[in-house]
């Protein structure tokens, strides 16, 4: 999960956070002096298909949301973007300068606004799940219970005992039993994840791994399985992954400014390489909230969405908490005042988060630059719990 930029940190974290904090403080000053007539967090008009309105029009309290910036500055959160959608309407967005490690652009201080693409990192995995669902809806894949080896006849000689029992669903739920460990330092030779970018043929590497446990016996975080899913999409569609994603998902969502990056071995980074504007990432959340529909068009079936966000395993110790895992989607809950709030999420290294709160008809998207930090993502959950949910004022 430390997928890129490990040669980074030309600036120390302390210096970086001071820069981020001073930049955000400058933004607060700008709001208080030069933009008194503009409500904080007012969405910009950039013609991306989002309807926009005020927080009050969808039952949210603006004054409480206006406290987000100060809270982020006070906690040195290094959050780059906060986007809030309610009842299908974009009602709040704010952007902050800060340290980042954007793929191929160099680590260091960066500025952000509504038109800036940001690394989604492992949020990419949740998008791969949607693409698998679309491929099944189109009958390019019979079902998620198809055996993985069926799609890789050219690697049949690699097959070790146990591989015949692994299905696409096992890859989706990270319960395949493949011997895999990416919860190590990036430069640790036992870390499997760097091999995805360094191996000339990463699929051969993954498919040659031994089976350490029966499928469904245990949950183990495994980006290699997601890369296999991305390649299966290419094999069944006859298109590149980004080509299929463009036609099947992003174009219907009105997402035109995006990238899916490649590893240095020129293989597309299915599990970690997606770059989106935060407003467009929020569309992914709204799609799930709408059970696979966007603007009245069914993009992925409700059945697939339901399967994807059904908890299947406990996922302890990843992204800083105790969560449940479905099909490349996370589930959890938070106590906000006297409200027990359940949410669905896509999560990426550094603090990239798409929170979906069905009971409140709410989507919150944040990006951040806390790579390699234990508290990554804490700020997103903090503002969701202590500012955004309490701002709901429905009768």
Give a yes or no: residue 133 inside a domain.
no
Three-state secondary-structure class, residue 59: coil
Give buried/exposed letters for 206-227 (b at 16+ CB in 10 A, else e): bbebebeeebbeebbbbbbbbb
The total number of structural domains in the chain stands at 1
**Per-residue pLDDT at 22:** 45
Give a yes or no: residue 100 inside a domain.
yes
Q: What is 103-153 written as a DSSP string?
A: TTT-SEEE---TT--EE-TTHHHHHHHHHHHHHHHTTSSS-TTSBGGGG-G
Tell me which residue of 313, 319, 369 sits closest to 345, measured CA to CA: 319
Q: What is the pTM of this model?
A: 0.91
How many residues in total does the chain contain? 395
**Per-residue pLDDT at 319:** 66
**Per-residue pLDDT at 267:** 96
Give a yes or no: residue 338 inside a domain.
yes
Residue with structure tokens 């495994």? 222
**Per-residue pLDDT at 318:** 64
Give a yes or no: residue 56 inside a domain.
yes
Give a yes or no: residue 283 inside a domain.
yes
**Per-residue pLDDT at 30:** 42
Give a yes or no: residue 79 inside a domain.
yes
**Per-residue pLDDT at 43:** 96
Containing domain of residue 114, as a range? Answer: 13-119+277-294+308-391
The span from the CA of 85 to the CA of 330, in Å, is 19
Please, are residues 53 and 93 in contact by the beta-carbon 8 Å criterion? no
> Mind listing the pLDDT tens digit of every residue in the chain (395 residues)?
444 333 333 333 333 334 444 444 444 444 333 333 347 999 998 999 999 999 999 999 999 999 999 999 998 899 999 999 999 999 999 999 999 999 988 899 999 999 999 999 999 999 999 999 999 999 999 999 999 999 999 999 998 899 999 999 999 999 999 999 998 998 999 999 999 999 999 999 999 999 999 999 999 999 999 999 999 999 999 999 999 999 999 999 999 999 999 999 999 999 999 999 999 999 999 999 999 999 999 999 999 999 999 999 999 766 666 799 999 999 999 999 898 999 999 999 999 999 999 999 999 999 999 997 777 889 999 999 999 999 999 86
**Per-residue pLDDT at 222:** 97
Give a yes or no: residue 340 inside a domain.
yes
Give a yes or no: residue 136 inside a domain.
no
Phi, psi of 141 (to 5 degrees): -125, 135
Tell me which residue of 313, 285, 290 sits closest to 301, measured CA to CA: 290
The domain that holds 24 is classified in CATH as 3.40.710
């Amino acid at each position: 999960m430390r997928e890129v930029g490990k040669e980074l940190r030309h600036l120390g974290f302390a210096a970086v956070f001071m820069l981020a904090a001073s930049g955000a403080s400058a933004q607060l000053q700008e709001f208080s002096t030069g933009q008194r007539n503009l409500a904080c967090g007012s969405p910009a008009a950039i013609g991306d298909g989002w309807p926009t309105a005020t927080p009050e029009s969808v039952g949210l309290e603006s004054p409480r949301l206006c406290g987000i910036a100060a809270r982020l500055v006070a906690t040195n959160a290094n959050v780059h973007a906060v986007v809030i959608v309610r009842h299908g309407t974009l009602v709040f967005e704010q952007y902050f300068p800060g340290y980042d490690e954007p793929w191929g652009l160099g680590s260091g201080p960066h500025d952000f606004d509504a038109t800036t693409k940001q690394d989604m990192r492992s949020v990419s995995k949740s998008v791969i799940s949607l693409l698998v669902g679309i491929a099944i809806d189109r009958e390019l894949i019979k079902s998620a219970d198809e055996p993985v080896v069926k799609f890789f006849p050219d690697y049949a000689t690699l097959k070790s005992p146990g591989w015949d029992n692994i299905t696409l669903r096992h890859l989706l739920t990270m319960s395949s039993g493949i011997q895999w460990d990416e919860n190590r330092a990036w430069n640790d030779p036992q870390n499997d994840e760097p091999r995805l970018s360094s191996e000339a043929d990463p699929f051969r590497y993954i498919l040659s791994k031994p089976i350490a446990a029966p499928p469904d016996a245990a949950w183990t975080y495994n980006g290699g399985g997601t890369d296999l899913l991305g390649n299966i999409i290419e094999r069944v569609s006859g298109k590149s992954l980004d080509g299929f994603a463009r036609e099947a998902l992003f174009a219907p969502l009105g997402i035109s400014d995006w990238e899916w990056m490649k590893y240095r071995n020129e293989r597309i980074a299915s599990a970690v390489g997606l770059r989106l504007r935060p407003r467009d990432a929020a569309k992914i959340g709204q799609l799930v909230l709408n059970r696979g529909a966007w603007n009245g068009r069914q993009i992925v079936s409700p059945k697939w969405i339901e399967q994807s966000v059904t908890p299947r395993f406990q996922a302890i110790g990843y992204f800083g908490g105790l969560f449940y895992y479905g099909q490349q989607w996370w589930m959890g809950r938070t106590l906000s005042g006297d409200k027990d709030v359940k949410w669905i999420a896509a999560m990426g290294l550094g603090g990239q988060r798409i929170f979906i709160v069905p009971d409140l008809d709410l989507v919150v998207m944040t990006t951040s630059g806390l790579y390699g930090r234990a508290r990554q993502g804490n700020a997103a959950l903090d503002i969701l719990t202590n500012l955004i949910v309490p701002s709901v004022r429905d009768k």
